[in-house]
Amino acid sequence: MTSEVADDTTDKVVFGGVDSHADTLHVAVISDNGGHLADAEFATTAAGYAAALAFPGAHGHVNAIGVEGTASYGAGFTRAARSAGLDVVEVNRPDRAERRRIGKSDPIDAYAAARAALSGRASSAPKDDTVTGIRALHNAARSAVKARTAALNQITHILVTAPESIRAKFGQLKGADRTDALARLRPAGDAAHVAVL
């Protein structure tokens, strides 16, 4: 863990910012006037989340924590912070122009998230686990529809070059009827394949 700590500010109001990744998260702490107080890196584990939550509190009373990626890499930290009663706000990634102007690093992004929480630019509450579950179901359903469409397109293209006997038997079938009939086919040499053809 790396850390850079300023003067003792335990009786002051502070804001936190988190730049999240798959294996680590970088936490920055700023004062209520935007001054940099400290930053450190933590692992994305239960112990890492506990240490990351304690870190801003060691520098003052935490008013809010801005988290980049509350529904992705920052979901675990967000869940832990909300369980601890902290006010978490969702922070959008800085736009490309700002990244070119000020650079890109974990500490820079964490301080930017903290400043977004301080300024009120980031004020939306992160989505809760109910929304995450609905999103997962929606993504699974969308993937299933895409897979079905891809399979139907593949079957159609294969039938174009299939032997005449197969094209005659299955070519006139459409949609689910064609899929059901072709699903009963087996690889060449299988007795079931011969029986179906």
pTM higher than 0.75 for the full model?
no
Report yes or no on 153 lying in a domain. Answer: yes
Pick out the chain residues at pLDDT < 70: 1-10, 94-103, 123, 128-130, 186-197
Task: Decide which of 107, 126, 145 is a domain's last residue.
Answer: 126
Instruction: Please tell me the predicted confidence (pLDDT) of residue 197.
Output: 46
Domain span at residue 167 reads 131-196
Residues 188 and 162 in one domain: yes
First-last CA distance in the chain = 66
Report yes or no on 96 lying in a domain. Answer: yes
Task: Decide which of 111, 126, 141 is a domain's last residue.
Answer: 126
Number of domains into which the chain is organized: 2
Residues 25 and 97 in one domain: yes
